[in-house]
Structure 1
């Protein structure tokens, strides 16, 4: 374990949702900083995020499994759990009130955004994403360790901000009445219905009225693109940032990347559709727009 530096976590980043690798390296081992590996891979990737974590992770990092810390009774992937379940799960990981939480993933900026958003909507005051993620940390030759990390149990007071979470009825209302703009983070071919959904039983296509901004268009080298590029991408997708936006994707993961992109421009979304296309596309009662 890295020895705590003289610089403590109380020296929080000046603003924004991100910290640099240097910022984190100077605080590894500080008692009020917890590092969280929130890596996750698409079902078709054939990779185990947990196994990769055990093989190599940032020293002191705990593994946050978005499929396990979830409402597994819903039948949908990684839906938000109850406040009680979240509090118990993250407290067991050693994440407590008042801690500075730094989330990263093994791809740079992918599922870390979902990890960040989950802590954010459950009321974490100081939660950040590591710029560049594990790839940049590795490229800079910074230390890694293997095995599971067990931190002393802590207490996290979970208060879910339900206004930031859109349900299927909220999205159906937005789709029918235009009360909010729907912004889908999936790749264009999946949005258009030209490619099959990776989940069995889920139709191809998109929610009527939704716009498409693939999450890959707002990310470069494990970080968000610069503000001018983000504004251009959002505008090209047909989104008016002065009006409410609900982000969605395949299962609520990359929708959080769009959340962070809009938030970085000072125009955070109204909500994220937690069920996303995994819910909408598997329901015969909901209209899906597919190939022409």
Structure 2
């Protein structure tokens, strides 16, 4: 069955160059890697692609990393990138499946109806010998009208309420050692541990060779981590990037996504009024 969220390299190759197709390079790397997507983009990218910088196209007033941009800011940046209303978007990153999911979620949250992630990302595209382009992008501006759908975004208060009532499962995509509090957080000033009552499903378990695992495998993984796909799910992580991968996985497995906690541990772990638990539960 064809997924509404995923696009194969063959499908993109057939659609490439279409006036209504917007190809987006969303490559982003953790701060400790020393890599920068914006610097690598001009060296090699899929023909016609534009670069979406999740650190720049973000709410700069929040004090938190790469938070969901405000509507006017997103509209202006999308317009400059030539990504407009009525277009079909295909997003990729150099790691196969990482920050592409964050941009997928951002555009879905702002009302874009046709948003897909390239399976295997730029790596698979290159391995298959498909064409590449160098240099900066020079898109023609197109108007993008953001329409925020609040069901995609969970606030701190909504996460607190879900944890207190059990109305939704809060599922943390961070590695197990960070969830347990065994290792310090990579961002300074954050407490170690997790939200009391949250569940842990490390995002690395749903990804294989830079691609999301098949739906049946995803269902088994969610079940193994005590996540009920029949009940609402709120995803969270360190700063909202890998939480988007888990949100994608939940949708592909047939789950009910209640939202992504945008602030994630960057917000929760920094606040004195947010309780923290350690250990496996």
Give TM-score, length-normalised by structure 1.
0.93
Query: Which position in structure 1 is the counterpart of 2:237?
Result: 249
Q: How many correspondences in the alignment?
A: 280
Which aligned pairs between 1:34-73 and structure 2 lie closer than 5 A?
A: 34-73=22-61
Matches of 1:88 and 1:98 in 2, distance apart? 16
Matches of 2:7 and 2:217 in 1, distance apart? 20
The answer to whether the aligner puts 1:74 opposite 2:62 as a matched pair is yes
The answer to whether the aligner puts 1:185 opposite 2:173 as a matched pair is yes
Matches of 1:204 and 1:246 in 2, distance apart? 20
Query: Which position in structure 1 is the counterpart of 2:183?
Result: 195
1:8-27 Cα offsets, whole Å, 9 max, x none, are: xxxxx954211111111122
The answer to whether the aligner puts 1:139 opposite 2:142 as a matched pair is no
Of 76, 84, 96, the residue aligned with 1:88 is 76
Matches of 2:17 and 2:254 in 1, distance apart? 32
Give TM-score, length-normalised by structure 2.
0.96
Of 271, 278, 291, the residue aligned with 2:266 is 278
Query: Which position in structure 2 is the counterpart of 1:287?
Result: 275
Of 93, 96, 110, the residue aligned with 2:98 is 110
Q: What is the SS of the residue equivalent to 2:139?
A: coil
Given that 2:230 and 2:256 are in contact with CA atoms closer than 8 Å, whether structure 1 keeps it comes out as no
Q: What is the SS of the residue equivalent to 2:231?
A: coil
Given that 1:43 and 1:198 are in contact with CA atoms closer than 8 Å, whether structure 2 keeps it comes out as no
Q: What is the SS of the residue equivalent to 1:270?
A: strand
Question: 5+ unaligned residues in a row in structure 1: which ranges?
Answer: 1-12
Matches of 1:86 and 1:62 in 2, distance apart? 15
Of 152, 169, 181, the residue aligned with 2:140 is 152
Q: What is the SS of the residue equivalent to 1:26?
A: helix
Measured after TM superposition, the shift of residue 291 of structure 1 is 4.5
Runs of 4+ in structure 1 deviating by more than 2 angstroms, as ranges, are 13-16
1:217-267 Cα offsets, whole Å, 9 max, x none, are: 001122211222111110111111111110001111111111111111222
Q: What is the SS of the residue equivalent to 2:257?
A: coil
The answer to whether the aligner puts 1:121 opposite 2:114 as a matched pair is no
Matches of 1:139 and 1:15 in 2, distance apart? 23
Matches of 2:192 and 2:47 in 1, distance apart? 41
